[in-house]
Amino acid sequence: MSITNTIKKRILYLFTGVFAMLFSGVLYAWSILKTPFKEIFSFSDSSLALSFTITMCFFCLGAFFGSIICRKLKVKLTLIIAGVLVGVGFALTSIMTADTMYLLFIGYAFLAATGIGISYNVVVSTVCAWFPDRKGFCSGCLMMGFGVSTLLLGNIISLMFENESMGWSKTYIILGAVIAVVLIVSALILKAPSEDTILPAPKPKKVTKAESFEPKDYKTTEMLKSFTFWRALLCLAFITAVGNSVISFARDLVISVNATQALATTLVGILAVFNGVGRVLTGAVYDLIGRRLTMISANFITIIAAGVTLLSVIIGSLPMCIIGLCLTGISYGSCPTVASAFSATFYGQKYFPMNYSIMNFNLILASFIANFSNSLLINSGSYVSPFIMLLILAVVALALNFSIKKP
Confidence of residue 202 (pLDDT cuts 50, 70, 90): low
Rounded to two decimals, what is the model's pTM? 0.76
Q: What gap in Å lies between CA 369 and CA 363, rounded to an integer?
A: 10
pLDDT at res. 207: 47
Is 103 strand, coil or helix? Answer: helix
pLDDT tens digits, residue range 254-306?
999 988 887 887 888 788 778 778 877 887 787 788 778 888 999 999 999 99
Q: Provide the number of structural domains found in the chain.
A: 1
Please state, as a whole number, how many other Cβ atoms lie within 10 Å of the Cβ of residue 266. Answer: 17
pLDDT at 114: 95
Q: Is residue 333 pLDDT above 70, yes or no?
A: yes
Is residue 123 a contact partner of residue 145, using CB atoms and an 8 Å limit? Answer: no
pLDDT for res 206: 52
pLDDT digits (tens, 9 = 90+) for 64-102: 888 888 888 889 999 999 999 999 999 999 999 989 999
State percent of the chain over pLDDT 90. Answer: 39
Beta-carbon contacts of 303 under 8 Å, excluding residues fewer than 6 positions away, are: 391, 394, 395, 398
Q: CA dihedral in degrees (270, 276, 280, 285; nearest 10)?
A: 60
| pLDDT tier, 113 (very low <50, low <70, confident <90, very high otherwise) | very high
How much is the average pLDDT of 314-325? 94
Report DSSP letters for 175-222, one per residue.
HHHHHHHHHHHHHHH-----TT---PPPPP----GGG--------HHH
Measured in whole angstroms, the distance separating CA 390 from the mean position of its chain's CA atoms is: 18
Euclidean distance between CA atoms 319 and 275, whole angstroms: 18
| Averaged pLDDT, 232-236 | 93
Position 213 scores a pLDDT of 61
pLDDT (mean) for 350-364: 85
- pLDDT band of residue 208 (cuts 50, 70, 90) is very low
Range with the lowest mean pLDDT among 83-92, 244-253, 271-280, 312-321?
Answer: 271-280
Report the SS3 class of residue 75.
helix
Predicted confidence (pLDDT) at residue 355 exceeds the cutoff of 50: yes
Q: Contact at 8 Å (CB) between 363 and 240?
A: yes
Least confident among 175-179, 268-272, 391-395, 398-402: 268-272
Residues ≥6 apart with Cβ < 8 Å to 185: none
Q: Is the pLDDT of residue 150 over 60?
A: yes
Q: Is the pLDDT assigned to residue 4 strictly greater than 90?
A: no
Instruction: State the pLDDT at residue 152.
Output: 79
- The pLDDT of residue 146: 80
* Residues in Cβ contact with 141 at an 8 Å cutoff, skipping those fewer than 6 apart: 14, 17, 18, 279, 280, 283
213-227 residue pLDDT tens: 666 888 889 999 888
What's the whole-number mean pLDDT along residues 117-126?
A: 90
Query: For residue 250, what are the domain limits?
Result: 3-403
Percent of the chain with pLDDT over 70: 94
User: Is the distance from CB of 220 to CB of 355 less than 8 angstroms?
Assistant: yes
> 86 to each of 90, 144, 305, how far by Cα in Å?
6, 21, 33
DSSP state of 382: S
CATH of the domain at 373: 1.20.1250.20
Three-state secondary structure call for residue 106 = helix
Return the higher-pLDDT residue of 283 and 325. Answer: 325
* Confidence tier at 209 by pLDDT (50, 70, 90): very low
Q: Please choose, from the candidates 41, 14, 178, 160, the residue with its C-alpha nearest in 3D space to the C-alpha of residue 97.
A: 41
